[in-house]
Structure 1
Amino acid sequence: MTALILIAEDEPEIAEILDAYLTREGYRTYRVGNGQTVLDVQPVLKPDLVLLDIKMPGKDGWEVLAELRRRGNTPVVVVTALDQDIDRLQGLRIGADDYVVKPFNPVEVVARVGAVLRRTSASRSETVLRVGRLEVDTQSYVASVHAASGAAGVQLALTLTEFRVLAHMAKSPNRVFSRSELIDACLPGGDALERTVDSHMSNLRKKLDKLGAADMITVVRGVGYRLADQP
């Protein structure tokens, strides 16, 4: 699925131009004209990147950027008429990934969007593991299961050990892990029994089952466990 760009711009003409050029390049877009609306829709839409104006009603872009950074690492490209060095520095200090000054060349904006997405995607791929409908973020310690339709994922309520086991297996999907391997990798101390692994696996499967994905973890008799990329 192509990247979703959230366009936060209260001037309709500018928003339409950005929308048209991004759509032409194959991106999906969603437009809002209010700073508070950005924060309202971001958790639901989970955009791959936000194009953010600064002077908007509701909340200004600085407030929105600061809140987005508190929430996570969604890439943000600031697009604004504020062209002073102090404004650029403030944007980068708060956490903008790039800064574009109006009036701009829309072709350049699209190119910068692509560059930021490539850069952040490469960084994110090192911390986010995807196996089928399962997504494991090893940086934020969050694991979620996405619906087949591609809708937003539902977070799993995991213990730290359960998360470690799931993340370790997600690094090598379809590989069979022995109980002793999982003990060494995921249960520090080395004094855990193999039946402890079975207990953690049972709990994991029950939690996955509630989201219709219990079959992702399978038992290989006499060997151990496999995390399959197809539930």
Structure 2
Amino acid sequence: MHHYTILIVDDEEDMRNLVEMYLLNSGYTCLQAANGVKAINLVESHEVDLILMDIMMPEMDGFSICEKIRLKSEVPIIFVSAKGEEWDKVKGLRMGADDYMVKPFNPGELVARVEAVLRRTGKGKMPVNRENGNIIQLGEIYVNIDSRNVVIEKEQVILTLKEFELLVFLMRHQNQVLSREQLLENIWGTEYGGSLRTVDTHIKTLRMKMRTADYIQTVWGIGYKIEEKDVE
């Protein structure tokens, strides 16, 4: 199966990483560019199936990049911008963009727009979701193991090392009841001399940082489990 390659063009690294996390989780391969020169070079040197591009960037804005790329390529382009004025949308579409999204957006809408543009431009069948060893997802929680990025409800969340390891272990054992002893041994190691209260304390701080996306449930007398909430 062909895994489509999406080029993400944005001068903000956090935004590029966030978008990449969404796309990797849906089976796409990603490239990143922080400026117009890098974006144009990547289009010339790689097989890019679609570009997601911010408009407001220093030195060369998205409109200018689009104009230069259109001189050499018909690769589909979706503008992703905080500017939601009708004039900007019309200008972007007239310059050759295939779609226009306004920030902030949710992961489902982003992937749906990408799929729709690829269909319209004749790229054929979309890739099915595939497991990516570097990405774990549960509901609105996205964890990138390699970069240690944690995104919860579209916002990056900073976790301590043990909080991160605890969240990853729980997510890798979704819907399983894990005892405090299991969590203590797997996260802190068999040589750790602390008490089981260490697990409870870290679960408490982790829950605070997860806010409304807290899927961690207490199983009284045993330990904890993580599972996605039922949508009513």
Give the structure-2-normalised TM-score.
Answer: 0.51
**Structure 2 equivalent of residue 133 of structure 1:** 140
- Counterpart of 1:63 (choices 27, 38, 41) is 38
1:41 positional shift: 7.9
| Greater fraction of residues in helix | 1
1:65 positional shift: 7.2
* Root-mean-square deviation over aligned CA pairs: 4.4
Determine if the alignment matches structure 1 residue 188 to structure 2 residue 185.
no
1:112–1:158: structure 2 CA closer, same or farther, 3 Å change rule?
Answer: same
Cα-to-partner distance string for 1:129-158 (whole Å, 9 max, x where unaligned): 111111111121122212xxxxxx112211
**Structure 2 equivalent of residue 208 of structure 1:** 210
1:189 positional shift: 5.2
**Structure 2 equivalent of residue 166 of structure 1:** 167
1:64 positional shift: 2.9
Cα-to-partner distance string for 1:105-134 (whole Å, 9 max, x where unaligned): x99x854995xx66xx64x62221111111
1:125 aligns to what SS in structure 2?
coil
Supply the distance in 1 between the matched residues of 2:151 and 2:30 (Cα, whole angstroms). 26
| Structure 2: runs of 5+ lacking an equivalent | 50-71, 76-117
Cα-to-partner distance string for 1:70-107 (whole Å, 9 max, x where unaligned): xxxxxx7x3xxxxxxxx7xxx35xxx678xx8689x99
1:173 aligns to what SS in structure 2?
coil
Q: Decide whether the 8 Å contact of 1:219 with 1:225 is kept in 2.
A: yes
Supply the distance in 1 between the matched residues of 2:150 and 2:73 (Cα, whole angstroms). 39
Determine if the alignment matches structure 1 residue 222 to structure 2 residue 195.
no
1:202–1:131: structure 2 CA closer, same or farther, 3 Å change rule?
Answer: same
| Structure 1: runs of 5+ lacking an equivalent | 9-37, 53-57, 67-75, 79-86, 147-152
1:64 aligns to what SS in structure 2?
helix
Determine if the alignment matches structure 1 residue 142 to structure 2 residue 149.
yes
Aligned length: 153
Which of structures 1 and 2 has the larger relative contact order (alpha carbons within 8 angstroms, sep 6+)?
2
1:51 positional shift: 10
1:136 aligns to what SS in structure 2?
strand
1:113–1:51: structure 2 CA closer, same or farther, 3 Å change rule?
Answer: farther
1:46 aligns to what SS in structure 2?
helix
Supply the distance in 1 between the matched residues of 2:158 and 2:7 (Cα, whole angstroms). 32
